[in-house]
Structure 1
Amino acid sequence: MADSKKIAFLVAAEGIERVELTEPWKAVTKAGHQPVLLSPETGEVQTFDHLTASEKFPVNQAVGDVSVEDFAALVLPGGVANPDALRTDEKAVGFVKSFVDSGKPVAAICHAPWTLIEADVVRGRTVTSWPSLQTDLRNAGAEWTDETVVTDGNLITSRKPDDLPAFTKTLLEALN
């Protein structure tokens, strides 16, 4: 097994698609790594199963209190409201930009690329997402494609919960 690494999971206070947080979290944990839940504020975050409130999870640290150097990778779960809220938080957007710029793996699924757009890190990159984001991504300078998982440099993107097996497999491969 590879050396244990800390993996940042960055989410807003609510609107997180539960399985897009819990499935990569379980995969990272099973692989011997340490997932860390980050959010703009400490306390709890509310996940959803599509539009229905689901489980709450405790935040480990506020994003403003950590450094990119503390982590080996960043995971951005989707859900519609989650990345929409994150992209309005200056510290969260700055953390995402710094993480992408560091060259370390950044994995974003579903609506999460909205935060990548706000961080201005998709220009010239090939990505995928939930289909409704394709115009936003193209307008931000990305090449959008409809594939299960797309890797472009250190960016790993997927479209939806059905893509989670390929998404988590690609994330774990990037950690080795």
Structure 2
Amino acid sequence: MRIAFLTAPEGVEQVELTQPWQAVTDAGDSPELVSTKPGEVQAFNHLDKADTFPVDRTVDEVSPDGYDALVLPGGVANPDALRMDEKAVAFVRGFFEAGKPVAAICHAPWTLVEADVLRGRRLTSWPSLRTDIRNAGGEWVDEQVVVSHDGSGTTLVTSRKPDDLRAFCEAFTEEFHKAGTGAKAA
């Protein structure tokens, strides 16, 4: 499976990128880093700069058709920047429209709020997003991992914080493989 990881040029929480990336690799799948700008992504350890990671493609160059699933890492600044980029929001929305699985952790559901894909869904996130998720029609719960399915066949896996990463990675890799979307890589 080919899995897109969408991040802004800076602000992604490093561990929320690297651990899911490793989980995808360990599952025998191919992760690809997609961002709104070419070059490198500046990751953070909370508020401190961490490592940089090379961007494989930009949202201008891709579509959900080229991927089997999407992972949205958190970090406060990362989803805040993504939700201000129309092409990034459209890219995310496209996975839901195509019925492809999506995984989001911590602050990443902010991008899902902007994509208007949370109505009727049960999910979790960093607690400060609770009101935003409810205002977007979602049901926010304080649980380690939440897996929700909708009528279109889209599976959404969400988690609250870095402490939940092990359970998050196990859940989304299992759900991605169950989904068996069969999308052809571009």
1:103 aligns with 2:99: yes
1:173 aligns with 2:169: no
Q: Distance in 2 between matches of 1:97 and 1:31?
A: 25
In structure 2, the residue corresponding to 1:35 is in which secondary structure? strand
Q: Distance in 1 between matches of 2:31 and 2:102?
A: 14
Residue identity matched to 1:174: E
Counterpart position of 1:130: 126
In structure 1, the residue corresponding to 2:119 is in which secondary structure? coil
Percent identity of equivalent pairs: 63
1:1-176 maps to which residues of 2 (within 5 A)? 5-153=1-149, 154-176=155-177
In structure 2, the residue corresponding to 1:88 is in which secondary structure? coil
Normalised TM-score (structure 2): 0.91
Normalised TM-score (structure 1): 0.96
In structure 2, the residue corresponding to 1:36 is in which secondary structure? strand
Q: Distance in 2 between matches of 1:122 and 1:87?
A: 14
Across the aligned residues of Structure 1 and Structure 2, the Cα RMSD in angstroms comes to 0.6
Gaps of 5+ in 2: 150-154, 178-186
Q: Distance in 2 between matches of 1:116 and 1:149?
A: 16
* 1:11-61 per-position Cα deviation (integer Å, ceiling 9, x unaligned): 001010000000000010011111000001110010000001000000000
Q: Distance in 2 between matches of 1:17 and 1:124?
A: 28
